[in-house]
Amino acid sequence: MVLSLNRTYVKRIVFRKFIAMIRQLLGQPQTESAGRWDIGTAHLQYDSIEDWMTGENVPLEFIKEPDPILRDKYIRQYGELRRHLYAKHVGTLSPDVQQAIHQGCHPSQSHRFADDAQPYCELLQRHLATLGVDMSNVQLGWYHMDRIVLTVETPKQFDVASSRGLPWLFQGFEVKYISTAGKDVAEDL
């Protein structure tokens, strides 16, 4: 019995190595492909997601890319770049805020810190005003994985896509911009 279990185990390992070798020969990404030498890190040179998409000719709806190899590449690079940009952002924050983030007690890291997160709405609103953007409604957004983001409701005439330079990270929080264009239609019904 033990011998047959060992054979089964060995067969699985050999099979996985064989599949990995075939994928490598065919140029398909591996499941643990992040950081491999043959994939590169050129995408980490960009200062924003928009710059990466423009610089690498990434389509706006890359998640729907029909080529699975290209789609996997875009998704992997997108995730790696977001983590890289967040780490750079954290590096610009005060040592106290950095420590809070690393210890998991920053207000953005749990719904239970909502009371501590609320003042950041006003801080972001003031920051946006210094950029010449009048956003009257900044509120907490309760997102999956127990995190809090700052949600900015944009006026109808405001086009987020053409407004480069708006922060998507602020004081350790992710910032989401939500258009209010469809709100009036729903309220009129």
Q: What is the pLDDT of residues 57-95, one digit of tens each?
A: 999 899 999 999 999 999 999 999 999 999 999 999 999
- In this structure, what are the phi and psi dihedrals at residue 136, rounded to the nearest 5 degrees? -80, -20
Which phi-psi region, left, alpha or beta, contains residue 67 (left: φ > 0; alpha: ψ -120 to 50)?
beta
| Lowest model confidence (mean pLDDT) among 1-5, 56-60, 70-74, 138-142 | 1-5
Which residues have CB under 8 Å from 86's CB, separation 6+?
169
Task: Give CA–CA dist 143/146, Å, rounded.
Answer: 6
Residue pair 71/63 in contact (Cβ under 8 Å)? The answer is yes
pLDDT at 179 over 90: no
* pLDDT on residue 17: 65
> Residue 68: what residue type?
P
Q: What ranges do the domains of the chain cover?
A: 1-31, 33-92, 104-188
Q: What is the DSSP string of 108-130?
A: GG-GGGHHHHTHHHHHHHHHHHH
Residue pair 117/148 in contact (Cβ under 8 Å)? The answer is yes
Decide: pTM greater than 0.75.
no
Distance of CA 156 to the CA centre of its chain: 25
Residue pair 135/154 in contact (Cβ under 8 Å)? The answer is yes
Task: Give CA–CA dist 2/10, Å, rounded.
Answer: 12
By C-alpha distance, which of 126, 112, 111 is closest to 171?
126
Q: What is the pLDDT of residues 102-119, one digit of tens each?
A: 999 999 999 999 999 999
Q: What is the pLDDT of residues 92-101, one digit of tens each?
A: 999 999 999 9
pLDDT at 13 over 70: no
> Residue 188: what residue type?
D
Confidence of residue 22 (pLDDT cuts 50, 70, 90): low
Instruction: Give the position of tokens 């491999």.
Output: 36
* pLDDT on residue 138: 92
